[in-house]
Structure 1
């Protein structure tokens, strides 16, 4: 068991080298779930800063041995077990160690992004400009060797056709993709301000509409209403026909009474009936 702990895949070139003191180095542990290329890049940057002060005093072999040993110290769990299973005297340089490491965890490498990936992007009709520009930046940052002209064309044609930023790019074409990304920040701020103003306007309209609906209605004044006829009496647009009748019999007080004539009353027919004829007048004289 003790022999296995001393067993190492490193060659004597690494194990017998004088290890430089790197000082305080902030290197994250590799968890085995992220891109191994990104981890090696971050490790090289950290080690480069750590060995800068002692670079003149160290040989190339010592620096390379320091890279190998410190890299293994920042492996844990399944990654450390993978390293321990490697053949003895297999690794003699950091380049060999990096190659084996990348091969083992290549399934976690990000696929290379090409120019064609930009042309598959498109902004949705209701997608905020801020969200779309974040998606576009994430893709364009992974494209290697893309020209400003190609990136600008991809950005312009992927924007929503009613976008104000697309109109700006058509009228005032940016010279570089960095210039376009910088301009997009101003349009993002303006778009968000307009959306906030629209929300405030709609809220104000809703409040006004609610106050109108809940306002108590004014009731009519009964004193101002004209007297209405009963429903059982017909309305007449002309003059009313009335006649005056005197009280009958002596000793009875005299009252004027108003008698309404029927609506179908015919005055000419009544006159012909009540007017005395010649025979009637002769008999009356006798």
Structure 2
């Protein structure tokens, strides 16, 4: 699959509590083989799955079996620990979407895992503009999915030459992730798969599409102030926490028991689980909110393909 990783990047670790953004496809599954991600663990974060085309079957250690479809959000809060698998369905011909993570604050990092699904209504905030609010509230539409810090997640589809003024919630940073089309964010060109970021304090931003139209994701939130250690599928507050999570996942498999991350039932694939990679031979370092210095321009994070 073609995957572009926009967050984390050298230029930026977080936008609000959004800490990870993989933008994948569009890929013809007849050529790529589609998505088949065997059971793997998460802790200290929540995953937000959003599709533009295709379907993905989600199974997790809570016993959830759900299908992610375009225009529907699946939010899985890992908390103290969960495992899940992701497989594109036979009905999928073109797979295209975004996999997003949210870092949990220390007060919620050990919460019980949970899964939520929501189908947001379409709102039309300007001529030629359609939006779906999948996290938070905007333009009179609110998502009921539960998040642990103030957040915003919205898909915005603009017809050719359409534009929309986005009211930025008070105190929010805002990222504009371009999926397709040519886009200008407050007059600055932003290429597909890049992320324009506006720091907290901006009250409104204008997003304009070129003649062919465009689709963007708005990702915002209050600046995340904590330092975290993020490695593989784990987020902790120290090297030791991440090491313990890795050992728990590996010892559960070695002992033939579910362990703290539980067991995913019903997954059928070439391997039973994804083993944790080896830790690097150095101490894992924490990362925090990197912010722009002078506020003179909207920074853009470029995202070269991973594959």
TM over 0.5: no
Higher strand share: 2
Task: Give TM-score scaled by structure 2 length.
Answer: 0.19
Q: Give the structure with higher Rg (CA).
A: 1
Whose helix proportion is higher, 1 or 2? 1
TM-score scaled to structure 1, two decimals? 0.20
